[in-house]
Chain A
Amino acid sequence: GNSVTQMEGPVTLSEEAFLTINCTYTATGYPSLFWYVQYPGEGLQLLLKATKADDKGSNKGFEATYRKETTSFHLEKGSVQVSDSAVYFCALSDNRDDKIIFGKGTRLHILP
Protein backbone atom coordinates (compact mmCIF):
# COMPACT_ATOMS: atom_id res chain seq x y z
CA GLY A 1 0.00 0.00 0.00
CA ASN A 2 0.90 3.66 -0.15
CA SER A 3 2.97 5.11 2.66
CA VAL A 4 5.04 8.10 3.69
CA THR A 5 8.13 7.97 5.87
CA GLN A 6 9.70 11.09 7.29
CA MET A 7 12.56 11.65 9.67
CA GLU A 8 11.73 11.50 13.32
CA GLY A 9 12.07 14.55 15.43
CA PRO A 10 12.44 16.65 17.24
CA VAL A 11 14.89 18.55 15.10
CA THR A 12 16.58 21.43 16.91
CA LEU A 13 18.50 24.11 15.02
CA SER A 14 19.83 27.55 15.66
CA GLU A 15 18.35 30.52 13.87
CA GLU A 16 19.76 31.01 10.34
CA ALA A 17 20.81 27.37 10.06
CA PHE A 18 20.08 25.24 6.98
CA LEU A 19 17.15 22.89 7.30
CA THR A 20 16.50 19.53 5.69
CA ILE A 21 13.63 17.26 6.67
CA ASN A 22 13.73 13.98 4.80
CA CYS A 23 10.64 12.38 3.31
CA THR A 24 10.36 9.24 1.21
CA TYR A 25 7.26 7.60 -0.14
CA THR A 26 5.87 4.38 -1.51
CA ALA A 27 3.09 4.64 -4.05
CA THR A 28 1.85 3.20 -7.29
CA GLY A 29 1.62 5.41 -10.32
CA TYR A 30 2.30 9.12 -10.10
CA PRO A 31 1.23 10.57 -6.76
CA SER A 32 0.94 14.22 -5.83
CA LEU A 33 3.17 15.21 -2.92
CA PHE A 34 2.60 17.79 -0.20
CA TRP A 35 4.21 19.39 2.81
CA TYR A 36 1.89 20.68 5.50
CA VAL A 37 2.85 22.72 8.58
CA GLN A 38 1.10 22.77 11.95
CA TYR A 39 1.77 25.57 14.41
CA PRO A 40 1.05 24.92 18.11
CA GLY A 41 -2.64 24.45 18.86
CA GLU A 42 -3.72 24.94 15.25
CA GLY A 43 -4.82 22.91 12.27
CA LEU A 44 -2.60 22.03 9.33
CA GLN A 45 -1.76 24.49 6.57
CA LEU A 46 -0.54 23.52 3.13
CA LEU A 47 3.06 24.72 2.80
CA LEU A 48 3.87 23.52 -0.72
CA LYS A 49 3.06 20.82 -3.23
CA ALA A 50 4.33 19.11 -6.38
CA THR A 51 2.23 17.10 -8.77
CA LYS A 52 4.74 15.49 -11.14
CA ALA A 53 8.33 14.31 -11.25
CA ASP A 54 11.02 17.02 -11.09
CA ASP A 55 8.50 19.64 -10.01
CA LYS A 56 9.77 21.96 -7.30
CA GLY A 57 7.28 23.30 -4.80
CA SER A 58 8.23 26.47 -2.92
CA ASN A 59 6.69 28.83 -0.40
CA LYS A 60 7.94 31.13 2.38
CA GLY A 61 11.56 30.19 1.64
CA PHE A 62 10.86 26.45 1.85
CA GLU A 63 11.47 24.19 -1.15
CA ALA A 64 10.98 20.54 -2.01
CA THR A 65 11.66 18.72 -5.27
CA TYR A 66 9.68 15.68 -6.42
CA ARG A 67 12.31 13.00 -7.10
CA LYS A 68 10.73 9.94 -8.66
CA GLU A 69 14.02 8.07 -9.06
CA THR A 70 14.63 8.18 -5.31
CA THR A 71 10.92 8.39 -4.30
CA SER A 72 11.74 11.40 -2.17
CA PHE A 73 10.35 14.86 -1.41
CA HIS A 74 12.77 16.38 1.08
CA LEU A 75 11.91 19.76 2.60
CA GLU A 76 14.67 22.40 2.68
CA LYS A 77 15.12 25.98 3.82
CA GLY A 78 18.32 27.94 3.59
CA SER A 79 17.98 30.03 6.74
CA VAL A 80 15.41 29.15 9.38
CA GLN A 81 13.75 31.56 11.78
CA VAL A 82 12.32 31.09 15.26
CA SER A 83 8.87 31.52 13.72
CA ASP A 84 9.43 28.33 11.68
CA SER A 85 9.12 26.25 14.85
CA ALA A 86 6.24 23.88 14.15
CA VAL A 87 5.41 20.32 13.15
CA TYR A 88 5.90 19.47 9.48
CA PHE A 89 3.99 16.70 7.71
CA CYS A 90 4.89 15.10 4.42
CA ALA A 91 1.89 13.67 2.57
CA LEU A 92 0.85 12.07 -0.69
CA SER A 93 -2.23 11.48 -2.76
CA ASP A 94 -2.21 8.65 -5.28
CA ASN A 95 -4.74 10.64 -7.32
CA ARG A 96 -7.17 7.75 -7.56
CA ASP A 97 -9.44 8.91 -4.77
CA ASP A 98 -9.87 11.88 -2.48
CA LYS A 99 -7.68 10.60 0.35
CA ILE A 100 -4.29 11.87 1.45
CA ILE A 101 -1.79 9.78 3.38
CA PHE A 102 0.25 11.65 5.97
CA GLY A 103 3.61 10.92 7.51
CA LYS A 104 3.91 11.00 11.28
CA GLY A 105 5.24 14.54 11.38
CA THR A 106 8.57 16.08 12.35
CA ARG A 107 8.71 18.61 15.16
CA LEU A 108 11.11 21.47 14.48
CA HIS A 109 12.53 23.73 17.22
CA ILE A 110 14.48 26.83 16.22
CA LEU A 111 16.60 28.43 18.92
CA PRO A 112 17.26 32.19 18.85
Chain B
Amino acid sequence: DGGITQSPKYLFRKEGQNVTLSCEQNLNHDAMYWYRQDPGQGLRLIYYSQIVNDFQKGDIAEGYSVSREKKESFPLTVTSAQKNPTAFYLCASSGGRVPYNEQFFGPGTRLTVL
Protein backbone atom coordinates (compact mmCIF):
# COMPACT_ATOMS: atom_id res chain seq x y z
CA ASP B 1 0.00 0.00 0.00
CA GLY B 2 1.20 3.50 -0.81
CA GLY B 3 1.62 5.94 2.01
CA ILE B 4 3.83 7.96 4.30
CA THR B 5 5.70 6.49 7.23
CA GLN B 6 7.22 8.39 10.12
CA SER B 7 9.46 6.97 12.75
CA PRO B 8 9.64 6.73 15.63
CA LYS B 9 6.11 7.39 16.90
CA TYR B 10 7.41 8.64 20.26
CA LEU B 11 10.81 10.20 20.82
CA PHE B 12 12.45 11.48 23.96
CA ARG B 13 15.56 13.59 24.04
CA LYS B 14 17.59 15.44 26.59
CA GLU B 15 18.12 19.16 26.33
CA GLY B 16 21.11 20.06 24.18
CA GLN B 17 20.87 17.02 21.93
CA ASN B 18 20.08 17.01 18.24
CA VAL B 19 17.51 14.48 17.06
CA THR B 20 16.43 13.37 13.57
CA LEU B 21 12.86 12.45 12.65
CA SER B 22 12.36 10.14 9.70
CA CYS B 23 9.80 10.58 6.92
CA GLU B 24 9.50 8.21 3.96
CA GLN B 25 6.88 8.12 1.18
CA ASN B 26 6.23 5.65 -1.62
CA LEU B 27 3.59 7.73 -3.39
CA ASN B 28 6.07 9.03 -5.97
CA HIS B 29 5.24 12.56 -4.84
CA ASP B 30 7.53 15.43 -5.73
CA ALA B 31 6.70 17.70 -2.80
CA MET B 32 7.22 16.97 0.90
CA TYR B 33 6.54 19.03 4.03
CA TRP B 34 7.21 19.16 7.74
CA TYR B 35 4.72 20.68 10.16
CA ARG B 36 4.74 21.26 13.86
CA GLN B 37 1.51 20.94 15.82
CA ASP B 38 1.01 22.45 19.26
CA PRO B 39 -2.26 22.41 21.23
CA GLY B 40 -4.60 25.16 20.06
CA GLN B 41 -2.24 26.42 17.35
CA GLY B 42 -3.06 24.24 14.42
CA LEU B 43 -0.27 23.29 12.00
CA ARG B 44 2.75 25.46 11.35
CA LEU B 45 5.02 24.84 8.37
CA ILE B 46 8.68 24.23 9.23
CA TYR B 47 10.27 23.32 5.86
CA TYR B 48 9.11 22.08 2.51
CA SER B 49 10.72 20.62 -0.57
CA GLN B 50 9.31 20.68 -4.07
CA ILE B 51 12.07 18.65 -5.69
CA VAL B 52 15.10 16.56 -4.79
CA ASN B 53 18.11 18.53 -3.55
CA ASP B 54 16.04 21.65 -2.97
CA PHE B 55 14.04 22.89 0.01
CA GLN B 56 12.63 26.13 1.40
CA LYS B 57 12.04 27.51 4.86
CA GLY B 58 8.51 27.66 6.15
CA ASP B 59 7.13 29.90 8.85
CA ILE B 60 9.11 28.49 11.81
CA ALA B 61 12.38 27.10 10.40
CA GLU B 62 14.68 28.40 13.14
CA GLY B 63 16.29 25.57 15.09
CA TYR B 64 15.45 22.95 12.44
CA SER B 65 17.28 21.54 9.41
CA VAL B 66 16.30 19.19 6.59
CA SER B 67 17.76 17.36 3.61
CA ARG B 68 16.21 15.96 0.45
CA GLU B 69 18.76 13.63 -1.11
CA LYS B 70 16.14 11.17 -2.35
CA LYS B 71 12.63 11.68 -3.64
CA GLU B 72 11.25 9.25 -1.08
CA SER B 73 12.87 10.69 2.02
CA PHE B 74 12.74 14.05 3.84
CA PRO B 75 14.31 13.78 7.32
CA LEU B 76 13.97 16.59 9.83
CA THR B 77 16.65 17.38 12.40
CA VAL B 78 15.62 19.22 15.53
CA THR B 79 18.76 20.95 16.75
CA SER B 80 19.71 22.16 20.20
CA ALA B 81 19.03 25.68 18.95
CA GLN B 82 15.29 24.99 18.96
CA LYS B 83 14.19 26.49 22.26
CA ASN B 84 10.91 24.67 22.72
CA PRO B 85 11.01 21.46 20.68
CA THR B 86 8.38 19.44 22.55
CA ALA B 87 5.55 19.02 20.03
CA PHE B 88 3.84 16.69 17.59
CA TYR B 89 5.61 16.64 14.21
CA LEU B 90 3.78 15.77 11.02
CA CYS B 91 5.24 14.97 7.63
CA ALA B 92 3.20 15.29 4.45
CA SER B 93 3.61 14.90 0.72
CA SER B 94 1.75 15.98 -2.38
CA GLY B 95 1.84 15.38 -6.08
CA GLY B 96 2.49 19.10 -6.47
CA ARG B 97 0.15 19.47 -9.38
CA VAL B 98 -1.88 22.58 -8.70
CA PRO B 99 -4.82 23.04 -8.39
CA TYR B 100 -5.36 19.58 -6.99
CA ASN B 101 -2.40 19.59 -4.63
CA GLU B 102 -3.98 17.93 -1.63
CA GLN B 103 -1.48 16.78 0.94
CA PHE B 104 -1.21 13.29 2.40
CA PHE B 105 -0.01 12.97 5.98
CA GLY B 106 2.01 10.49 7.96
CA PRO B 107 0.99 9.32 11.45
CA GLY B 108 3.26 11.81 13.22
CA THR B 109 6.10 11.72 15.74
CA ARG B 110 5.62 13.04 19.25
CA LEU B 111 8.86 14.55 20.52
CA THR B 112 9.35 15.20 24.21
CA VAL B 113 12.36 16.99 25.63
CA LEU B 114 13.25 15.84 29.10
**A interface, CB within 8 angstroms of B:** 30, 32, 34, 36, 41-46, 49, 51, 89, 93, 95-100, 102-105
Contacts and interface: CB of A to CB of B under 8 A. Distances in A.
B101 A102 contact: no
B102 A42 contact: no
Nearest to A52: B99
Contacts of A46: 102-104
Contact of A49 (B33, B102, B104): B102
A99 B48 contact: yes
Given A44-B43, A44-B92, 11 more contacts: A30-B99, A32-B102, A36-B105, A43-B107, A45-B105, A89-B43, A93-B98, A98-B98, A100-B102, A104-B40, A104-B42
B101 A44 contact: no
A102 B33 CA distance: 13
Contacts, number: 61
A105 to B, nearest CB: 5
Contacts of B50: 98
A98 B99 contact: no
B42 A98 contact: no
Contact of A100 (B4, B40, B101, B106): B101
B45 interface: yes
Interface in B80-100: 90, 92, 94, 96, 98-100
Interface of B: 4, 6, 31, 33, 40-43, 45, 48, 50, 90, 92, 94, 96, 98-108
Given A104-B40, A104-B42, A95 B98 contact: yes
A41 B107 CA distance: 8
Contacts of A105: 42
Contacts of B40: 104
A51 B102 CA distance: 11
A46 B3 CA distance: 13
Nearest to B32: A98
A98 B101 contact: yes
Nearest first, the 7 A-B pairs at minimum CB distance are: A43-B105, A104-B42, A95-B99, A44-B105, A95-B98, A98-B31, A102-B43
